């Protein structure tokens, strides 16, 4: 953590620049493309701040439960999902929200989801983050996560090359709880499942430790804590659910991250002389349109940039923006392998911890639940592999401010 001999003006310089970039970018994109797309850059910036200040992780929460049976992070995820389905299901059942047509992320349930989510889970532990975590920690100054992000993009575009073959494998048709049980019934079923998972973590944690873990005391209070962090995990859970609902209202669909990585990789590959237009993934109308248009017209890209800028502002406010480029070779290798697995797995599984798990379950899609199970098993395998690349505490415990 950086020390603080800086003047107040210097302390706020980077956050002000990052915030100005978000606002200016939102204005330009709103004028050139659509107003809602511009607003979504601001939503992305808020996502970045919430993720960073709450240190809301998926990778670390799962690793801590697997290795130590501590379930506070997993229970926070259940709070997030509870609020999300309560907000999402009535809107998805009606088909409109504030006058705009909306739809959820509902995907087939098959081998590609099982394999993709498992690979993604392994990649989470080797790469050191998930999709949202890679963005917010890279934006917050984690140099190693920049490596993970680069190979996340590479793995994503490779996944699009193989996408058609994977989709030819056996799969069940998409199933949505909203369609099967209605909004009210879907909410009830979901809440029972969330409660069961939370109760399971409580039983496992008390069985190992005798009592539940308490959050570490914080010496900051009032506005100072909300400005510089750390935030309570529950505040992060609520913030992410509300912002995902804002995304649904503005974009007409939930929050996603990794489709932009595939797009960036495809455009980069074409700049090098390659041609992805004949790949099955890029022949669907939506993907073909995105490939042929400006990347700044892509909602997911705009939000991803906003997340990184928001995390940059948050890290600077917290006094933690201090990139370290001295990265052990084995840690770099883990970032490369992990990034490739994250990108490839996300394409096979119709999304990542955000698009498939968070937004998938918030959409009522059963593929989101399958993703959760397969990815958790992948995380268990990834935890076993970590000692090959990391030593000491890093081999089994998450570092601060990682996903």
What whole-number distance in Å separates Cα of residue 36 and Cα of residue 55?
28
With beta carbons less than 8 A apart as the criterion, state whether 382 and 123 touch.
yes
**Predicted local distance difference test score (pLDDT) of residue 269:** 96
**Predicted local distance difference test score (pLDDT) of residue 399:** 45
Residues 6+ apart with CB under 8 A from 54: 229, 230, 231, 232, 233, 235, 236, 237, 239
Confidence band, pLDDT 50/70/90 cuts, at residue 392? low
Identify the CA nearest to 361 among candidates 90, 112, 81, 83: 81
If one compares 393 and 181, the residue with the highest pLDDT of the two is 181
In tens, the pLDDT along 65-90 reads 999 999 999 999 999 999 999 999 99
* Burial zone of 319 (CB within 10 Å; 0-12 exposed, 13-18 middle, 19+ buried): middle
Mean pLDDT of the chain: 92
The three-state secondary structure class of 172 is: strand
Supply 26's token pair: 């939102």
**Predicted local distance difference test score (pLDDT) of residue 322:** 73
**Predicted local distance difference test score (pLDDT) of residue 10:** 54
% pLDDT > 70, the chain: 94
Supply 351's token pair: 């999304």
Confidence band, pLDDT 50/70/90 cuts, at residue 1? very low
pLDDT of 263 strictly over 90: yes
**Predicted local distance difference test score (pLDDT) of residue 9:** 55
Residues 6+ apart with CB under 8 A from 53: 226, 228, 229, 230, 231, 236, 314, 318
If one compares 1 and 357, the residue with the highest pLDDT of the two is 357
Confidence band, pLDDT 50/70/90 cuts, at residue 396? low
**Predicted local distance difference test score (pLDDT) of residue 395:** 55
**Predicted local distance difference test score (pLDDT) of residue 145:** 92
**Predicted local distance difference test score (pLDDT) of residue 377:** 98
In tens, the pLDDT along 267-320 reads 999 999 999 999 999 999 999 999 999 999 999 999 999 999 999 999 888 887
pLDDT of 109 strictly over 50: yes
What whole-number distance in Å separates Cα of residue 249 and Cα of residue 247?
5
**Predicted local distance difference test score (pLDDT) of residue 224:** 80
Q: What is the mean pLDDT of residues 11-35?
A: 94
Q: What is the mean pLDDT of residues 190-198?
A: 98
**Predicted local distance difference test score (pLDDT) of residue 340:** 98
């Amino acid at each position: 953590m950086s020390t603080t001999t800086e003047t107040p003006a210097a302390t706020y310089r980077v956050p002000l620049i990052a915030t100005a970039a978000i606002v200016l970018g939102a204005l330009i994109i709103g004028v050139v493309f659509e107003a809602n797309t511009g607003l979504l850059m601001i939503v992305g910036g808020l996502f970045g701040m919430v993720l960073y200040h709450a240190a809301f992780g998926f990778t670390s929460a799962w690793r801590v439960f697997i290795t130590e049976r501590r379930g506070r992070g997993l229970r926070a995820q259940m709070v997030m999902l509870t609020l999300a389905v309560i907000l999402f299901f009535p809107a998805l059942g009606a088909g409109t929200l504030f006058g705009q047509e909306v739809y959820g992320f509902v995907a087939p349930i098959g081998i590609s989801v099982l394999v993709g989510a498992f690979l993604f889970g392994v990649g989470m532990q080797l790469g050191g983050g998930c999709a949202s975590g890679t963005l917010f920690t890279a934006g917050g100054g984690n140099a190693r996560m920049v490596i993970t992000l680069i190979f996340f993009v590479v793995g994503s575009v490779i996944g699009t090359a193989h996408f058609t073959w994977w989709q030819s494998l056996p799969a069940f048709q998409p199933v949505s709880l909203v369609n099967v049980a209605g909004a009210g019934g879907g909410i009830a079923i979901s809440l029972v499942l969330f409660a069961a998972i939370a109760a399971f973590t409580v039983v496992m944690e008390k069985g190992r430790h005798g009592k539940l873990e308490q959050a570490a005391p914080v010496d900051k209070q009032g506005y100072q804590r909300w400005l510089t962090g750390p935030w309570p995990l529950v505040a992060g859970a609520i913030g992410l659910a509300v912002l995902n609902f804002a995304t649904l209202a503005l974009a007409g669909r939930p929050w996603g991250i990794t489709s932009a990585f595939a797009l960036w990789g495809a455009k980069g590959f074409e700049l090098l002389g390659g041609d992805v237009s004949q790949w099955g993934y890029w022949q669907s109308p939506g993907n073909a349109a995105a490939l042929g248009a400006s990347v700044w017209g892509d909602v997911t890209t705009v939000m991803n940039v906003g997340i990184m800028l928001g995390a940059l502002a948050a890290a600077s406010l917290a006094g933690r923006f201090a990139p370290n480029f001295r990265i052990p070779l084995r840690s770099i290798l883990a970032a490369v392998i992990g990034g490739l697995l994250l990108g490839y797995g996300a394409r096979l599984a119709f999304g990542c911890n955000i698009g498939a798990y968070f937004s998938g379950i918030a959409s009522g899609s059963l593929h989101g639940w399958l993703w959760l199970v397969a990815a958790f098993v992948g995380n268990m395998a990834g935890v076993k592999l970590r000692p090959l690349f990391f030593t000491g505490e890093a081999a089994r415990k998450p570092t601060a401010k990682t996903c």
